[in-house]
Amino acid sequence: MSILEIKNLSYKYGVGTPFEIAALENINFSVEKGEMVAIIGHTGSGKSTLIQHFNALLKASEGQVLLDGKDINESRESAHKARFRVGLCFQYPEYQLFESTVYKDIAFGPTNMGLDKTEIDRRVRKAAEFVGLKESMFEKSPFDLSGGEKRRVAIAGVMAMEPEVLIMDEPAAGLDPRGRKVILDLIKNYREKTGSTVIIVSHSMEDVASVADRILVMNKGKIAFNDTVDEVFSHEQELREMGLNIPQITKIFSELKRYGFNLNAATYTVDDAAEEILRYLHKGGN
């Protein structure tokens, strides 16, 4: 069964004023339990607005958001609960740290859930482990940490709520290649260990290609594509027109195919690409 289902969702800014703008138009899609979905789109495509509906931060002008089959906006209480069931980690989350210690900051979410001390403690430790924070850091001030460490504390703060669905908005933004890899690996690891549903929002195709099961491409407030990674990347031209970049490897493969090389175009990592080309060459060309 779908854990998250979006039905005919539309969202307008400034309703009732002459400045009314439709930010989202008739969005329909669902996310299965345990799936890893990537939402891609350039700035202003509506992707950030969309994810804020998943935990009831925004209320749709029309349509519904169903979590486990139930409308999250059914009551004030269900909307509040949705915050914990759907964990949303915003872009540059390190700028939202506020507590005096790392431990307390990670515990903020679980404390708001009204859990008891031992349960909070268990969750904080588990989340810290997921993001690779050592216990010796618990009593440090989050403001004394390095940029990458701060980001991991902030991510742990959302993971500690143990949400059924974890949404990460540009988790690797602004990090260097090593930092990006660390963050993406920890998300992968988190998903494997917990079996949670993960939605990752990004404008970097390279990052999501290797981790996502499915890609949802947003353009001008609408869903442009909702398909497997292979299928979405085959629409190179359209993606480019939407201001999105496709991975270099995909670029190379689709171009080579155009020149008549019989290669599998659904290739987007260096390892797969090398293997595919070698296979092709050993077969002796066409």
Q: Which residues bind another protein (CB under 8 A)?
A: 42-43, 52, 55, 57, 80, 83-84, 87-90, 93, 95-98, 108-109, 112-113, 143, 146-148, 157-158, 161, 173-179, 203-204, 206, 243-245, 247-249, 251-252, 255-256, 259, 270-271, 273-274, 277-278, 281-282, 285
Q: Judging by beta carbons within 10 Å of its beta carbon (0-12, 13-18, 19+), is residue 183 exposed, middle or buried? A: buried
- Cβ nearer to another protein, comparing 132 with 174: 174
User: What's the min distance (Å) between Cβ of 75 and another protein?
Assistant: 14
Six-digit token string for 149: 């460490």
Cα separation, 161 vs 149, in Å, equals 19
Cα 46–chain centre separation:
14
Cα separation, 259 vs 98, in Å, equals 56
Tally of CB atoms within 10 A around 176: 11
- Cβ nearer to another protein, comparing 108 with 233: 108
Q: Judging by beta carbons within 10 Å of its beta carbon (0-12, 13-18, 19+), is residue 77 exposed, middle or buried? A: exposed
- Ramachandran area for residue 285 (φ above 0: left; ψ -120 to 50: alpha; else beta): left
- Cβ nearer to another protein, comparing 96 with 237: 96
User: What's the min distance (Å) between Cβ of 90 and another protein?
Assistant: 5
Pairing relationship of beta strands 222-228 and 214-219 according to DSSP bridges: antiparallel
- Cβ nearer to another protein, comparing 108 with 130: 108
DSSP H/E element including 140: none
124 and 158 in contact (C-beta within 8 Å)? no
User: What's the min distance (Å) between Cβ of 266 and another protein?
Assistant: 16
User: What's the min distance (Å) between Cβ of 223 and another protein?
Assistant: 19
- Cβ nearer to another protein, comparing 21 with 274: 274
- Cβ nearer to another protein, comparing 31 with 89: 89
User: What's the min distance (Å) between Cβ of 160 and another protein?
Assistant: 9
User: What's the min distance (Å) between Cβ of 175 and another protein?
Assistant: 7
User: What SS3 class is residue 30?
Assistant: strand
